[in-house]
Structure 1
Amino acid sequence: MKPIANSELIINPDGSVFHLHIKPGQLASRVILVGDPGRVDMVAGFMSRIDYSGYNREFVWKTGVFNEVAFTVLSTGIGTDNIDIVMNELDALVNIDFETRLPKAEHTTLTIVRVGTSGSLQEDLPVDSWVLSEKAIGFDGLLNFYDGRDGVADLGFEKAFVDHTGWIKSLHAPYVVNADDDLVKRLEGAPVIKGVNISAPGFYGPQGRVLRLPLAMPDLNSAVTAFRYNNYRITNYEMECSAIYGLSALLGHKAVTVCVIIANRWQGTYSKDYKKVVKQLVGYVFQALSK
């Protein structure tokens, strides 16, 4: 096997991976992902100590300890394009030898939890509730660029969704990937509602919002809300989960997403203090992952 070329795996002069600016050995095996760089300090505030930290652009990170268990919190910014960077570089940090530039013989599995905010697509799912995504639907098309996508996708769900919505071919083909079963079991409980989320490649048109531009599929949100498949319903929109699930499945990592509902699209309601609720959710996640 040839070493991975310098142009493909870019390592900074200080030995850190190109975008994230994390060095091998600085990443914990339990990773909490947040979108907002400003949320990293809040999450890290739960830790009893911080061992490493760094930043580059929207990627802000800290590695420390909670209940004697090591965690890394990392901000991803917005969108699945950033998740492509984050997931590939996190995997490289633990599964590629930066000296030889070869994959390691022994695979390391990361436990990855995205804690985010989201908009509800069901009228009975109120603001400030917590939604645990058992499946994610990707409107972004990212996973379609990788070989093996069909092996990790729920193809039956995909076909049923495309048929139900009358999906137009000029859009990316949607993909559907499951969360890790073990992580779902660890995070499920009375405060959490399980559901299926859509990861959209934008905030406005891709999520059915109209300002001045008309939509290619103006009735899509109504179709999404009405969709049912094997007792699953689509509960919420966000912008990162599908790529996290898809790339984790291909790379051999465990991933799950849990979001605070900050807006209900059908009720037209918005959370009065979602940051307080997100902090409560972060504490819940730390407790569940440190057991």
Structure 2
Amino acid sequence: MSNIPNLSNSELILNPDGSIYHLNLKPGEIASTIITVGDPDRVEHVTKYFDTIEVSMHRREFKTQTGTYKGKRLTVISTGIGTDNIDIVFNELDALANIDFTTRVVKSQFQQLDFIRIGTSGAIQPEIKIDSFLASEIAIGFDNLLHFYGNVDFLDSQFSEAFMEFSNWNPHKSTPYVVKADEDLLKKFISEEKIIPGITATNVGFYGPQGRILRLQTQDAMLNDKLQSFELNHRKITNLEMETSGIYGLSKLLGHRAVSLNAILANRATGDFSKNPDTTVDKLIKKTLDLLLQ
């Protein structure tokens, strides 16, 4: 990454106290290992296991706490729902680590961050059990975020082109993009036998984009069936959620590492939903914290 001198006030927006605009955080207030959750209330479901908390900030949907778990410094932050929020959170977290707020230039020494998403998800393959855990090995994004950035040679065009052809993709929709998790970080979690690898579809909404019909009809009533039946290199799409593709894409663009962990609370193929969703998420939280110590 090349240095861009004198980032203007309209590009690097700081609050009067010197904190970054949306997150309201200052440099030094985040750890190099960051857990992301969607719901602000879930932040304290993670940090209740911490030994200490040194930073606590809540602005809009972005709640942040930094502290230690068994001696390891960690930050937990809520992103809200969707990759539009991921764009804000990841760019601002990177700025906190890699831009000098006083001189407004990119630092010469790069600090790499590790991102671990702890989220909920719905499976689309009938054999994936409710209350199981899944690590997203690959994400296919329907959200358009990565198309606004350059230098995306890491995207798997073969996968996206095969899916568009198979699904007879509507040209009025965004071209899907496909991006992988960080391999080393992924291995840390899929080495745990109770966390299975999968291919995650990141949707741009919760209802129509995920094939849910309340009072509105969808453009493609067969979309979920197409997602379920698509196969490439003997691999199938396993689950649906709303952030992973943006997390993986921006992490790669910025030089960071990321993995997305999913608590499977619903199975769209069978119509089932977890009877104990809070317990399932809590188990994934505790498992994630302990694996981060290894």
Bucket of the pairwise TM-score, normalised by the shorter protein: over 0.9
- Cα distance between partner residues in 1 of 2:23 and 2:36: 13
Q: Residue 253 of structure 2 aligns to which amino acid in structure 1?
A: L
- Cα distance between partner residues in 1 of 2:33 and 2:247: 14
2:201 counterpart SS class: strand
Q: Residue 281 of structure 1 aligns to which amino acid in structure 2?
A: L
Once the two structures are superposed, the pairs formed by residues 16-35 of structure 1 within 5 Å of their partners are 16-35=19-38
Residue aligning to 2:166: 164
Q: Does residue 276 of structure 2 align to residue 267 of structure 1? A: no
- Cα distance between partner residues in 2 of 1:45 and 1:152: 37
Number of equivalences: 290
- Cα distance between partner residues in 2 of 1:2 and 1:114: 32
Q: CA deviation at 1:171?
A: 0.2
- Cα distance between partner residues in 2 of 1:78 and 1:251: 21
Q: Does residue 131 of structure 2 align to residue 131 of structure 1? A: no
Once the two structures are superposed, the pairs formed by residues 47-196 of structure 1 within 5 Å of their partners are 47-149=50-152, 151-188=153-190, 189-196=192-199
Q: Does residue 260 of structure 2 align to residue 230 of structure 1? A: no
Once the two structures are superposed, the pairs formed by residues 179-258 of structure 1 within 5 Å of their partners are 179-188=181-190, 189-258=192-261
1:177 counterpart SS class: strand
CA deviations on 1:133-175 (whole Å, 9 max, x unpaired) are 00111110000000112x1211111111111111111001110
- Cα distance between partner residues in 1 of 2:167 and 2:134: 23
Q: CA deviation at 1:52?
A: 0.8
| TM-score of the two chains, using structure 2 as the length reference | 0.97
- Cα distance between partner residues in 2 of 1:290 and 1:61: 21
Q: CA deviation at 1:248?
A: 0.3
1:242 counterpart SS class: helix
Q: Residue 145 of structure 2 aligns to which amino acid in structure 1?
A: L
Residue aligning to 2:289: 286
- Cα distance between partner residues in 2 of 1:184 and 1:153: 17
Q: Residue 276 of structure 2 aligns to which amino acid in structure 1?
A: D
> In angstroms, what is the RMSD of aligned CA positions?
0.8
Unpaired stretches in structure 2, ≥5 consecutive residues: none
Percent identity, please: 48
Q: CA deviation at 1:127?
A: 1.0
1:152 counterpart SS class: coil
- Cα distance between partner residues in 1 of 2:242 and 2:168: 22
Q: Residue 228 of structure 1 aligns to which amino acid in structure 2?
A: E
- Cα distance between partner residues in 2 of 1:231 and 1:51: 47
1:248 counterpart SS class: helix
Which has the larger displacement, 77-86 or 229-238? 229-238
4+ long deviations beyond 6 Å? none
CA deviations on 1:244-280 (whole Å, 9 max, x unpaired) are 0000000000000011111111111100111111111
Q: CA deviation at 1:216?
A: 1.2
Q: CA deviation at 1:2?
A: 2.9
Unpaired stretches in structure 1, ≥5 consecutive residues: none
| TM-score of the two chains, using structure 1 as the length reference | 0.98
CA deviations on 1:23-75 (whole Å, 9 max, x unpaired) are 10000000000000011111001110001110101100100001211000000
> Is the CA contact 2:5–2:106 (under 8 Å) kept in the aligned structure 1?
no
